[in-house]
Structure 1
Amino acid sequence: MRALLVLMLGAFVSQTTEYLPIGLLPQIAGDLQISHTRVGALVTGYAWIVVLTAIPFTLLTRHIDRRTLFLTLTGVITLSNGLAIFAHGYWTLALLRSFAALGHGAFWALLASYAVKIAPQMPPARATAWAFAGISAAIVGGIPLAAYVGQHLGWQAGFALFGLLGSLTLVLGYLWLPAMKLAPQSEATSTARRNWPLYAAAFTTLLVVSSHFNGYTYILPLLSELARLPVSDNSLLLLVFGASGILGTLLAGLLGKRSLQLAIAAATGIVVSQAIMLFSPELPMLAWLDMVIWGTAISALIIGLQSWVIELAPHNAEAASALYVTTFNLGIGGGALTGGAMLAHFGAGAVLWLGLAIGVAALASFFLATKLAARANA
């Protein structure tokens, strides 16, 4: 169990690192005197590096012991966050984030299969949920905590904090994680070929994640401009968003054997939450309800999608996870890019309308994936 807790802590640090500019957006923009869109580009650039490196790095590192690889990749993220305290310019920060992003895809590709092998007595979906609870923890505590530290001590302190937490992960991982190598099976050394249901699931992942990050990357400006809530409420709103992720994680655990249905319900929640926010100018209190729905939905979605992908390629778990991580981060980068463009040129309301359109397309794409899966099993 303690090994799973190390994986959870590593996932917490890794995922929060990717999202840090979201929680620290006002402080980074103000200190470096840049626009919100350029801060959002720090998320986009990170995600696109993951897109380019996830599959090749996963395949290239298959021969490395899982414990060694976990510690190495966590060390890269930790070093990047720690050095950010010395970053006093935009491009220095962008370079450090690029360094951290290089191993991010391989990290997430190994996480699910490593968790399943560490806890063979658990159902695979439950072991995965334990490790991926770090994502919910990033939303629950990581982003609000970074926002709070950023407000009081500056954005560099927010990065440094996760450098310290990364160091703690390294120590615990060294003490508690078991050594483990992958079986040298030829079918596991490449991506799942001609698995059309898996490819359709990856396309669905791309759409629904794009819908989420189109708005979530700029959640603080949206809350300020649409709901007209004071900046002092930002940390609390993010905490409500994150705390709701606990509910999403619990739901994912209860519905672990129904990953597809869980993913569809969660994707619907993301679409509904963006629709609710459109009405927040008339009734600002809706923003608080919106944070509950949205936070619950995204935490459940992440676990639901990951479990669904593994179910579609049970003998190629790491390769399937690498494909999932690639499309997930393509969605992060694409969503952050489109949301930033809409915010800069058409305003906050346009960001949400685009997110809604992408979300509806994502819901429709679930049916394509299920039809292909039914045909493959026929």
Structure 2
Amino acid sequence: MRALLVLMLGAFVAQTTEYLPIGLLPQIAHSLNVSEARVGALVTGYAWVAAISAMPLTLATQRLARRRLLMSLLGVMTATNTLAAFSSSYLVLATLRVATALTHGVFWSMIAAYAVQLEPDVPATRATAIALGGIPLALVVGVPIATAIGHWAGWRNAFAAYAVLGGIAILLSARYLPAAVDSNIGTEHGVPRGNASLYWAALATTLTVTTHFIGYTYIVPVLSDVVHLPVARHAAVLMTFGLAGAAGTIVSGWLDQPPKRLSIIAAGGVTASQGAILLTGSDQIAVWLEMALWGWSISTLIVGLQSWAIAIAPHRANTASSLYVAAFNMGIGTGALIGGAALDADGVASVLKVGVVTGSIALLSFTMPWGLPGRRIPSR
């Protein structure tokens, strides 16, 4: 179980690193003298690099020892976060984000299969949920703490803090992850072919994740300009989002539900929460409930979509996961880009409007007749 907790820490570092500019968006924009939309592009560029590189880099590294690969990926994240803390220009920061993004697709493609191999006596869905627990933890404490550090000590210190944590994750990996485990045992290699359901699931993933990131990338401006929430309360609201996300991950890991059904319910929650914020506006009580629904929904969506991909191609779990990661990150980049365009064109409220429209399209994508109905993943 200690090995799974180490993977959870690594996932926490990786996920928080990806989302760092979101909570620090105003500080980075002011410090580097660029617009908030350009800072949002740091998320867009990161996601697109991860999307493009996920499949080829996963295929290129799938025969490497898992522990060594994991430590190398964490090492790159640690180094780039350290350098980001000293960056003095937008170009330097953007370049470092590209370098970090190259680790992202491989990291998330390997972690689920690696978790199952590390703990063969633990049900597969539970092992995966524990390893992926770093994702909601990043939302519960990672992004809110980074936001707080950025508010009180500057955004560079936030990057430095997670560089230190990345170093700790590397040391714990060396101590507690066995060198002999091969997460590719019993799996086939290569790109999944002749599987229309898998590629349709990837499209549904892109649309639903786009919906989330249209709004979430610009959540700080939304809280400020739509809800009129004081800046001092932003970190607490984001923590509420993350706590609900942690609950969503735990519950979805134990529910015996077909992953497609779980994904549809969660996609509906992501869409409904953005619409609710738009409707309630400056109601500062309602926003806590809306952000909790949003947090629960996106964490449940992550588990549901990845489980759906693995269920469709169980004998090619790594490459199916890499396709899911590529689709997920395409959604991140597309969402951030669309949200930024809406922000520049018609203000913050339009970000939520576009999110609701995109979410409705995403929900329709699950109804297409050639999509896989979904099935439960055997526990072992």
TM-score, normalised via structure 1 length: 0.96
Say if 2:223 is the partner of 1:223: yes
Q: Which residue of 2 aligns with 1:328?
A: 328
Q: Which residue of 1 aligns with 2:18?
A: 18
CA distance in 1, matches of 2:269, 2:109: 26
Q: Which residue of 2 aligns with 1:30?
A: 30
Q: Give yes or no for contact 2:260–2:373 (8 Å, CA) kept in 1.
A: no
CA distance in 2, matches of 1:327, 1:341: 21
Q: Which residue of 1 aligns with 2:53?
A: 53
Provide the secondary structure at the position in 2 that maps to 1:373: coil
CA distance in 1, matches of 2:131, 2:27: 31
Q: Which residue of 2 aligns with 1:131?
A: 131
Deviation at 1:280, TM superposition (A): 2.8
| Counterpart mapping for 1:198-213 below 5 A | 198-213=198-213
CA distance in 2, matches of 1:9, 1:108: 13
Q: Which residue of 2 aligns with 1:315?
A: 315
Say if 2:146 is the partner of 1:181: no
Q: Which residue of 1 aligns with 2:306?
A: 306
Q: Give yes or no for contact 2:63–2:184 (8 Å, CA) kept in 1.
A: no
CA distance in 1, matches of 2:122, 2:115: 10
Query: Structure 1 residues 233, 200: CA separation in 2 closer, same or farther (over 3 Å shift)?
Result: same
Residue ranges of structure 2 left out of the alignment (5+ in a row): 376-380
* Residue-by-residue CA offset, 1:274-311 (whole Å, 9 max, x unaligned): 11111232533221111111111111111111111111
Q: Which residue of 1 aligns with 2:364?
A: 364
Q: Give yes or no for contact 1:74–1:170 (8 Å, CA) kept in 2.
A: yes
* Residue-by-residue CA offset, 1:99-145 (whole Å, 9 max, x unaligned): 11111101110101001111111221111111111111111110001
CA distance in 1, matches of 2:13, 2:197: 32
| Counterpart mapping for 1:278-289 below 5 A | 278-281=278-281, 283-289=283-289
Provide the secondary structure at the position in 2 that maps to 1:315: helix
CA distance in 1, matches of 2:334, 2:372: 27
Amino acid at match of 1:181: D
Q: Which residue of 1 aligns with 2:378?
A: none
Query: Structure 1 residues 319, 100: CA separation in 2 closer, same or farther (over 3 Å shift)?
Result: same
Q: Give yes or no for contact 2:226–2:282 (8 Å, CA) kept in 1.
A: no
Provide the secondary structure at the position in 1 that maps to 2:53: helix
Provide the secondary structure at the position in 2 that maps to 1:105: helix
Provide the secondary structure at the position in 2 that maps to 1:284: coil
Residue ranges of structure 1 left out of the alignment (5+ in a row): none
| Counterpart mapping for 1:127-276 below 5 A | 127-179=127-179, 180-183=181-184, 188-276=188-276
CA distance in 2, matches of 1:182, 1:224: 45
Q: Which residue of 1 aligns with 2:98?
A: 98
Q: Give yes or no for contact 2:214–2:336 (8 Å, CA) kept in 1.
A: yes
Amino acid at match of 1:104: H
* Residue-by-residue CA offset, 1:287-345 (whole Å, 9 max, x unaligned): 11111111111111111111111111100000000000000000000000000000011
* Residue-by-residue CA offset, 1:226-280 (whole Å, 9 max, x unaligned): 1111111111111111111122112212215432222111111101101111123
Deviation at 1:39, TM superposition (A): 0.6
Q: How well do the aligned residues superpose, as a CA RMSD in angstroms?
A: 1.6
* Residue-by-residue CA offset, 1:65-102 (whole Å, 9 max, x unaligned): 01111110111011111111211111111111111111
Provide the secondary structure at the position in 2 that maps to 1:316: helix
Q: Which residue of 2 aligns with 1:89?
A: 89
CA distance in 2, matches of 1:66, 1:135: 20
Amino acid at match of 1:27: Q
CA distance in 2, matches of 1:133, 1:367: 29
CA distance in 2, matches of 1:125, 1:197: 21
CA distance in 2, matches of 1:372, 1:277: 31
Q: Give yes or no for contact 2:211–2:358 (8 Å, CA) kept in 1.
A: yes
Deviation at 1:372, TM superposition (A): 3.6
Query: Structure 1 residues 237, 182: CA separation in 2 closer, same or farther (over 3 Å shift)?
Result: closer
Deviation at 1:182, TM superposition (A): 4.8
TM-score, normalised via structure 2 length: 0.95
Q: Which residue of 2 aligns with 1:75?
A: 75
CA distance in 1, matches of 2:318, 2:176: 22
Q: Which residue of 2 aligns with 1:293?
A: 293
Provide the secondary structure at the position in 1 that maps to 2:191: coil
Q: Which moved more, 1:357-366 or 1:332-341?
A: 357-366
CA distance in 1, matches of 2:185, 2:96: 34
Paired residues, number: 374
Say if 2:40 is the partner of 1:40: yes
Deviation at 1:174, TM superposition (A): 0.3
CA distance in 2, matches of 1:235, 1:158: 14
Q: Which residue of 1 aligns with 2:120?
A: 120
